[in-house]
Amino acid sequence: MAGAQGGWVLTATARSPTNIAVIKYWGKRDETLILPVNDSISVTLDPDHLSATTTVAVSPSFDRDRMWLNGTEISLSGGRFQNCLREIRQRARDVENKEKGIHIRKEDWEKLHVHIASYNNFPTAAGLASSAAGFACLVFTLAKLMNVSEDAAALSSIARQGSGSACRSLYGGFVKWVKGEAANGSDSIAVQLVDESYWNDLVVIIAVVSSRQKETSSTSGMRDSVVTSALLQHRAEVIVPSRILQMEEAIKNRNFGSFARLTCADSNQVINTVERWSQFEGAPQVAYTFDAGPNAVLIAPNREVASLLLQRLLFFFPPPPDTKLEGYMVGDTSILQEAGVHSAEDVASLPPPPETKDKNNVQKYPGSISYFICTRPGKGPILLSEDQSLIHPVTGMPK
Amino acid sequence: MAGAQGGWVLTATARSPTNIAVIKYWGKRDETLILPVNDSISVTLDPDHLSATTTVAVSPSFDRDRMWLNGTEISLSGGRFQNCLREIRQRARDVENKEKGIHIRKEDWEKLHVHIASYNNFPTAAGLASSAAGFACLVFTLAKLMNVSEDAAALSSIARQGSGSACRSLYGGFVKWVKGEAANGSDSIAVQLVDESYWNDLVVIIAVVSSRQKETSSTSGMRDSVVTSALLQHRAEVIVPSRILQMEEAIKNRNFGSFARLTCADSNQVINTVERWSQFEGAPQVAYTFDAGPNAVLIAPNREVASLLLQRLLFFFPPPPDTKLEGYMVGDTSILQEAGVHSAEDVASLPPPPETKDKNNVQKYPGSISYFICTRPGKGPILLSEDQSLIHPVTGMPK
């Protein structure tokens, strides 16, 4: 084991949020520097629900740079990691820790190696933009450890080289990534439009859908979750077989109406639910967009509307039988109380929403959503205390 | 160069279609064997528009198995390639080619190496399910070369081990992938429900959208296309800046209506267009689903409806200025004629569809779609003639 015998270990630990683009970036004009062809705007999500936490440790006893992600060692050889490390190391300054009797001079940093431990408080496999939080946190934590004086805008330009959208996770609230003009990317930075307190009644609900992703992806994340396994099994045993039979009938009878209904039903019903509601009311009730994967991200203007949204979501996408509400609705679940939903029984007694045309013949989709995450706009990266370090202060290895 | 000096080269070349799931597979009960938790149903697409072509060559002079994909050599070390190769090799039989004076005995196959060349007639980066066509074609071609006697169902079970959805590309028409029960996956096979002539008036239109994919993916495919670059540039220079300004205004004024409209507009407008139309008519006009990426796949019951659909798609998603219709609408473009659209000028003079509420204030989205592919249900894999080989018959290397 590459411990830290005989040497000191110095650490810094920080937490960074993820973000969801509301105006997305559409392509890159430079793949290596990750320079986009257009500006984009995102909302930073509350790190209590979706964030990366990273500890960077430095010790004269470390013989090489190493990194552990969610407990598993990963290679740091990728260009994106190397770019971020190099850029921060070039800006490193003198560090003095009198308490530990450590003095690192600016020029020492080039010879010192780091151990990095990082974890996400949300499933990577859910298709949420974990790389945004991860690279933002890596750069922010490295900069803290190495006493870098650059501001958030300059750090955002470095995080951008790890993962484009990571630059927007250096701030809370609403953030704009300015595409910039310079060939070296120096002006392709993120700036804060307004902080998280400015429009603080917004509620963000993420519907984690796994079907489309699963149709082609080989990730194995879903196997790990007991909650989703139960849902998966229910869908596999109860919902899909009946749809398969109906689809076979539709094809054999060349029944296009039934074919279309079944095909679309296997597609994105969350958006349909929202669109029906907005059309009924004559104005958009909630905003929606998509994350990296097929997950629908819904944004309600306030808790009252969020409560009406949750009633609809739970009516059309109820947790499967024998599933508790906890685990199906995670994050800030206090809105559930406001929606009058305290248990799976309450879900079962929800009435069809007013925009439902034929209230006696409603199609519900239990099991088509893995789970919902309730969250809100949140703050940018913060430094955590030493007792929250992910790396052991003596061995220099992940705890 | 590992040529075939002094030895013979024997080749087989075949073409296999891709497929789009209309009932998707939701998860795997076995990641290695790729055994799904539920049955799925797909429609095979016309290989003239979307297919993989693969040549497998064998020669005593080859010193190892090698593969080239779209002209670039790729590693065959992955478990999925190895599983397919091993399964077919185990079933190889005697092959005699009198014309070339070649006799390969069943037991020789274990010692002989293969060169594989494959290409897709559609951009891999478009997010379309290229692995389905690719693995189906690899298995089908290997089986032809090695004189394997197993039927399509048995081959589908082998292709499944390369990429789950590949098993459904062994047939034309509508195909069901039966999940099976056996732990070794022997009964997890694809079966044909009806062939491609059974329901042959269906029209499939794929809207290739790249925004969401680009927001997080690092693939570089789009750079390669001149057509999409022009579109990208137009969006970057004209459309996005105005949306960025409007979004900044909306955030600063906490104007939720405008915020929601802009956020959703940057999301999936194709589905909105279809939903509005269906709701106006009171019945589903076209079916829609999604592919691996964010691309919308639309299925119309016949050419007449497809023609009405195309008019709507081109009205709301016109090609950007200075873009020709060719390149923006690819595949079977004969429906364009039926829709009365012969040029970009015809697109500009399309009237708003009847379901448009405020005909004087219509929001269009030029540049938000990269291009459309018009296709139809198609046939399964076919063997091609020697002159269509992708591998040189003397050197044994890709042409």
pLDDT in tens, A282-321: 888 999 887 765 688 999 999 999 999 999 999 988 887 7
By CA distance, what is B162's nearest residue in A? A218
Per-residue pLDDT tens digits for A150-202: 999 999 999 999 999 999 999 999 999 999 999 999 999 999 999 999 999 99
Q: Point out the residue among A223, A287, A292 whose CB comes nearest to the CB of B259.
A: A287
Closest CA to B23 of A234, A214, A366: A214
Write the DSSP symbol of residue B385. P
Kindly state whether residue B393 falls inside one of the protein's structural domains. no
Whole-angstrom distance, CA of residue A171 vs CA of residue A182: 23
How far away is chain A from the Cα of B278, in angstroms, using its nearest Cα? 11
List the 347-376 stretch of B: residues with Cβ below 8 A of A.
none
pLDDT higher than 80, residue A277: yes
**Lowest mean pLDDT, pick from A2-6, A100-104, B95-99:** A2-6
List the 74-133 stretch of A: residues with Cβ below 8 A of B.
129, 131
Surface-to-core class of residue A53, CB atoms within 10 Å of its CB (0-12 exposed, 13-18 middle, 19+ buried): buried
If you write DSSP's letter for every residue of B10-51 in order, what string do you get? EEEEEEEE-EEEEE----EEETTTTEESS-EEEEEBPTTTSE
Whole-angstrom distance, CA of residue A228 vs CA of residue A232: 6
What are A233's two structure tokens? 């099994």
Pairing of strands A113-120, A66-69: parallel
CA-based torsion, A156, A157, A161, A163: positive or negative: positive
Kindly state whether residue B399 falls inside one of the protein's structural domains. no
B181 and B226 co-located in one domain? no
pLDDT at position A3, please? 41
User: What is the mean pLDDT of each successive set of 10 residues along chain B, which is 399 residues long?
Assistant: 64 96 78 86 94 96 94 89 96 94 94 95 64 95 97 97 95 95 95 95 86 38 42 61 86 92 76 86 89 80 96 89 83 91 90 86 74 95 96 95
Non-local (6+) Cβ contacts of B173 within 8 A are: B43, B44, B192, B193, B194, B195, B196, B197, B198, B199, B377, B379, B380
A75 and A127 co-located in one domain? yes
B177 and B254 co-located in one domain? no
Whole-angstrom distance, CA of residue A64 vs CA of residue A83: 16
| Residue at token pair 């810094």 | A12
Contact B37 A236 (CB under 8 A): yes
pLDDT at position B235, please? 59
CA B325 to chain centre: 22
Whole-angstrom distance, CA of residue A250 vs CA of residue A265: 14
What are B191's two structure tokens? 């079966």
How far away is chain A from the Cα of B60, in angstroms, using its nearest Cα? 35
Helix (H) and strand (E) counts in chain B: 11, 19
Set of chain B residues whose Cβ sits within 8 Å of the Cβ of A23: 240, 243-244, 247, 262-263, 266
Contact B194 A252 (CB under 8 A): yes
Kindly state whether residue A28 falls inside one of the protein's structural domains. yes
| Residue at token pair 């849902």 | A231
A30 and A67 co-located in one domain? yes
pLDDT at position B234, please? 62
Kindly state whether residue B39 falls inside one of the protein's structural domains. yes
Confidence of residue A229 (pLDDT cuts 50, 70, 90): low
pLDDT at position B25, please? 78
Kindly state whether residue B65 falls inside one of the protein's structural domains. yes
Q: Are B257 and A179 in contact (CB under 8 A)?
A: no
Kindly state whether residue B4 falls inside one of the protein's structural domains. no
Q: What is the dihedral of CA B306, B307, B309, B310, to 10 degrees?
A: 120
Determine the structural domain holding residue A58 and report its residue range. 10-197+378-388
pLDDT at position A352, please? 93
Total CB pairs under 8 A between chain A and B: 229
Confidence of residue A393 (pLDDT cuts 50, 70, 90): very high
- Whichever domain contains B159, its CATH number is 3.30.230.10
Helix H or strand E encompassing B204:
strand B203-208
Q: Point out the residue among B26, B174, B243 whose CB comes nearest to the CB of A235.
A: B26
Per-residue pLDDT tens digits for A238-274: 666 777 889 889 999 999 999 988 887 766 778 878 9
List the 188-227 stretch of A: residues with Cβ below 8 A of B.
193-194, 198-199, 210-212, 214-218, 220, 222-223
pLDDT at position B226, please? 39
Q: Are A175 and A191 in contact (CB under 8 A)?
A: yes
How far away is chain A from the Cα of B74, in angstroms, using its nearest Cα? 19
pLDDT at position A6, please? 57
Establish if A264 touches chain B: CB-CB under 8 angstroms. yes
B143 and B62 co-located in one domain? yes
A240 and A146 co-located in one domain? no
Establish if B72 touches chain A: CB-CB under 8 angstroms. no
Q: Are A238 and A264 in contact (CB under 8 A)?
A: no
Closest CA to B29 of B119, B160, B121: B160
The b/e string for A271-302 (b: 16+ C-beta within 10 A; e otherwise) is bebbbbbbeeeeebbbbbbbbbbbbbbbbbbe
Q: Which amino acid is at B341?
A: V
How far away is chain B from the Cα of A390, in angstroms, using its nearest Cα? 27
A228 and A275 co-located in one domain? yes
Phi, psi torsion values for A273, nearest 5 degrees: -60, -45
Q: Point out the residue among A176, A247, A301 whose CB comes nearest to the CB of B22.
A: A247
A107 and A241 co-located in one domain? no
pLDDT higher than 50, residue A221: no
Per-residue pLDDT tens digits for A17-62: 999 998 877 667 788 899 987 888 999 999 999 999 999 999 999 9
Whole-angstrom distance, CA of residue A236 vs CA of residue A263: 17
What are A157's two structure tokens? 């330009």
Q: Point out the residue among A129, A174, A247 whose CB comes nearest to the CB of B251.
A: A174
Give how many domains chain B has, as a whole number: 2
A221 and A369 co-located in one domain? yes
Per 3-state DSSP, chain A is made up of helix, strand and coil in percentages (nearest 5) of 35, 25, 40
- Whichever domain contains B305, its CATH number is 3.30.70
Whole-angstrom distance, CA of residue A333 vs CA of residue A336: 5
pLDDT higher than 60, residue A4: no
Set of chain A residues whose Cβ sits within 8 Å of the Cβ of B26: 210-211, 214-215, 232, 235-236, 240
Computed over every residue of chain A, the mean pLDDT equals 86
pLDDT at position A23, please? 85
A224 and A325 co-located in one domain? yes
A211 and A328 co-located in one domain? yes
Establish if B238 touches chain A: CB-CB under 8 angstroms. no
Set of chain B residues whose Cβ sits within 8 Å of the Cβ of A25: 214-215
Non-local (6+) Cβ contacts of B232 within 8 A are: A26, A27, A37, B222, B367
What are A273's two structure tokens? 């639910």
By three-state DSSP, how is residue B349 classified?
A: coil
